[in-house]
Amino acid sequence: MAESAATQEFDVLILGGGSAGYSVALRAVQLGFSVGLIERDKVGGTCLHTGCIPTKAYLHAAELAENAREGAKYGIHTSLESIDLAGVRSYKDGIVAGKHKGLSGLLKMKKITVINGNGRLVGQDTIDVDGVAYKGKNIVLATGSTSKTFGLEIGGRVLTSTEALNMETLPKSAIVLGGGVIGVEFASVWNSFGVDVTIVEGLPSLVPNEDPAIIKNLERAFKKRGIKFNTGVFFEKVEQDANGVKVHLADGKTLEADVVLVAVGRGPVTENMGFEEQGITIDRGFVITDERLHTGVGNIYAVGDIVPGVQLAHRGYQHGIFVAEEIAGQKPTIVEDINIPKVTFCEPEIASVGYSEPKAKEKFGEDQIETTEYNLAGNGKSSILGTSGLIKMVRVKNGPIVGVHGIGGRIGEQIGEAQLIVNWEAYPEDVAQLIHAHPTQNESLGEAALALAGKPLHG
Ligand SMILES: Cc1cc2nc3c(=O)[nH]c(=O)nc-3n(C[C@H](O)[C@H](O)[C@H](O)COP(=O)(O)OP(=O)(O)OC[C@H]3O[C@@H](n4cnc5c(N)ncnc54)[C@H](O)[C@@H]3O)c2cc1C
């Protein structure tokens, strides 16, 4: 490719304008760098357009549907008349469009040059965008992820989360392949909307990365809600025709439904982008970096979902800020993946950060761990909200709290304090002396810390 004399050069040139890419851009301009941000679709990426934001809009609509159904429990006589999926979609689209406008305006205001087009790394300091070369003194790869399909052809009644968010009508029944975060969130929404849902998960439980106490509680809650699940079994084949889908399982069972959602994880988007040709190490599609997110080639970094680890938008933001500061020579602190807060927004919600009990035992020694479980039945605000659940805290004996795990309606909001506790390596004794306002669900963290400090108040 011929380079024109007018090739534009930036201090920081970013490939991909999702959560990770645009946060590099925002922090880099703050630090005084000139920034080019290449995006072939819409800035905001998966999280804004087909991930976090639209799914949470659906989950909020689902909560309203449940409230309408259950009003009488609180002396408010309501009933759920119907779900207008077009109406839910347009509410969701309005939120996404508003956030997209806001983000585009912010990037413009900060004088970040957004380059629309498909980028390909063609040199250690050069990205070709649809035939035009752009140079970066530093390059950041942030091309994100897409749904894995395990060879299934997507179309018709076989959907990924992206198609599921844009359905015209509600199915009567759905099979969800995958009991991880995306799978249980969709199962939760559809169940609230009156869809008959069955989950298939190859591993022995739903949300297999969570603490066993959380898993048990979620499975019990899902059963109570009428969400069916087959765990410890893989699917073998999916067939569709005009009448529906059939999913054949390895145990010989066949499930039938109107649609099937393929939610079996997300893979990196790195194919045919020239990364390997420039000497970057790729493993199963992921870009391999050192712990400071450097690829080991030139001044090229990678951030977000293309770097192996938990695929979450806020990890992408943190990666973005980290790399911009690293380029500026500020030597930012590394946050280990284990200490990244995670929320699964199904009903009941799950919030967790740090080590689960089994992982803590593996890391610190079987007899070095103490745990406590505080049942939300003892928490006034949870009873008012009509939710059950628990907070589990994991500490190292005579040491800090290394894991906080919660389940219950709205418990996601408690992740803020939980992640401070774990990341600041607080001792239960430190947290126990702090005051948690009454009546809030936040008190459950205080109660758990009091119990771990050996002086439980209401337990
Ligand atoms: C259904 C769903 C729900 C989710 N819910 C949550 C949640 O509640 N909380 C949470 O934290 N995370 C959630 N996630 C995960 C979150 O969306 C991702 O972790 C996050 O978007 C990753 O950011 P990223 O910048 O690495 O990649 P992406 O957001 O995927 O952005 C990559 C960008 O790069 C662009 N791009 C790719 N290749 C090129 C190229 N060659 N040239 C130009 N542009 C290119 C793409 O168009 C895209 O805009 C969810 C994901 C899904 C699918």
Q: What residues line ligand 1, using a CB cutoff of 6 Å?
A: 15-21, 38-41, 45-47, 50-52, 55, 118-119, 142-145, 161, 182, 269, 273, 304-305, 311-314, 316, 345
Residue type, 178: G
* C-alpha of residue 356 to centroid of ligand 1, in Å: 26
Same domain, 16 and 137: yes
Bridge partner list, 126: 123, 135
Q: Which of 46, 114, 207 to mutate to test the pocket of ligand 1 (most atoms within 8 A of CB)?
A: 46
When comparing pLDDT for 7 and 83, which is higher? Answer: 83
> How many separate domains does the chain show?
3
Q: pLDDT of 368-381, one tens digit each?
A: 999 999 999 999 99
In a domain, 60, yes or no: no
What is the maximum span of the chain, computed from C-alpha positions, in angstroms? Answer: 74
The residue among 334, 369, 95, 40 whose CA lies nearest residue 211 is 369
Same domain, 183 and 198: yes
Same domain, 164 and 247: yes
Q: pLDDT of 394-444, one tens digit each?
A: 999 999 999 999 999 999 999 999 999 999 999 999 999 999 999 999 999
What φ, ψ does residue 138 adopt, rounded to 5°? -130, 140
Same domain, 277 and 317: yes
Q: pLDDT of 8-58, one tens digit each?
A: 999 999 999 999 999 999 999 999 999 999 999 999 999 999 999 999 999
In a domain, 459, yes or no: no
Predicted local distance difference test score (pLDDT) of residue 91: 98
Tell me, yes or no, if the pTM score tops 0.75: yes
Predicted local distance difference test score (pLDDT) of residue 374: 97
Q: What residues are labeled active site?
A: 438
* C-alpha of residue 318 to centroid of ligand 1, in Å: 14
Same domain, 98 and 184: no
Predicted local distance difference test score (pLDDT) of residue 4: 52
Under 8 Å between Cβ of 237 and 267:
no
3-state helix, strand, coil in the chain (%, to 5): 35, 25, 35
CATH number for position 213: 3.50.50.60
User: Which residues fall within 8 angstroms of residue 138, CB to CB, at 6 or more apart?
Assistant: 11, 12, 13, 299, 300, 301, 327
Q: Which of 38, 49, 52 to mutate to test the pocket of ligand 1 (most atoms within 8 A of CB)?
A: 52
Ligand 1 atom with minimal separation from the 119 CA = 42
Mean of the per-residue pLDDT values of the chain: 97
The residue among 343, 337, 373 whose CA lies nearest residue 355 is 337
pLDDT of residue 72 exceeding 80, the answer is yes
Q: What is the extent of the structural domain holding 396? A: 348-452
* C-alpha of residue 169 to centroid of ligand 1, in Å: 26
